[in-house]
């Protein structure tokens, strides 16, 4: 099992989710509004916001836990739609997941995804 954690431009979210819905067997998704900075640092960016001592850019975070077979397709779909070619397009992190517990049914592992 893999967690795919994607940090993307907020205006791309609707199109990304539309594309992800087309993947058969996609089990679920969590989305959050976040802010952060990358290597190129937010202060060099037009859309940065100053908070306290630091500059941040607003982004969206998508988190999906999927079985190993689905992971590559999810990553490729997000990358294809999120790409503009400009600095700040975001990143996709792929994390190995050890276990999942489905609270209602007590299922574990891939059955619980």
Ligand X SMILES: Nc1ncnc2c1ncn2[C@@H]1O[C@H](COP(=O)(O)OP(=O)(O)OP(=O)(O)O)[C@@H](O)[C@H]1O
Nearer to ligand X, 30 or 68 (CB): 30
> Tokens 């190995």 belong to which residue?
96
Nearer to ligand X, 63 or 110 (CB): 63
Any contact of residue 73 with ligand X (CB under 6 A)? no
Nearer to ligand X, 52 or 104 (CB): 52
Rounded to whole angstroms, the Cα distance separating 7 from 88 reads 10
Name which of residues 7 to 36 contact ligand X (CB under 6 A): 7, 36
First to last CA, the chain: 9
Question: Is residue 32 within 8 Å of residue 60, measured between CB atoms?
Answer: yes
Minimum distance from CB of 99 to ligand X (Å)? 24
Rounded to whole angstroms, the Cα distance separating 101 from 42 reads 37
Minimum distance from CB of 91 to ligand X (Å)? 5
Q: What does 27 interact with, of ligand X, Mg ion, none (CB < 5 to 8 A by kind)?
A: none
Any contact of residue 87 with Mg ion (CB under 5 A)? yes
State which of residues 29, 67, 91, 100 lies at the interface with ligand X (CB under 6 A): 91
Question: Is residue 75 within 8 Å of residue 46, measured between CB atoms?
Answer: no
Rounded to whole angstroms, the Cα distance separating 73 from 70 reads 6
Q: Please state the length of the chain.
A: 113
Residues that bind ligand X (CB under 6 A): 7, 36-40, 57, 59, 87-91
């Amino acid at each position: 099992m893999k967690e795919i954690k994607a940090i993307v431009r907020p205006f791309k979210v609707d199109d990304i989710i539309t594309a992800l819905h087309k993947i058969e067997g996609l089990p679920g998704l969590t989305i959050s509004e976040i802010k952060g900075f990358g290597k190129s640092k937010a202060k060099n960016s037009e859309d940065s916001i100053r908070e306290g001592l630091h500059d941040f850019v607003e982004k969206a975070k998508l988190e999906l836990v999927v079985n190993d077979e689905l992971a590559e397709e999810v990553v490729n779909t997000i990358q294809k739609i999120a790409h503009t070619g400009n600095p700040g397009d975001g990143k996709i992190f792929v994390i190995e997941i050890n276990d999942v517990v489905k609270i209602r049914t007590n299922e574990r592992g891939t059955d619980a995804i």
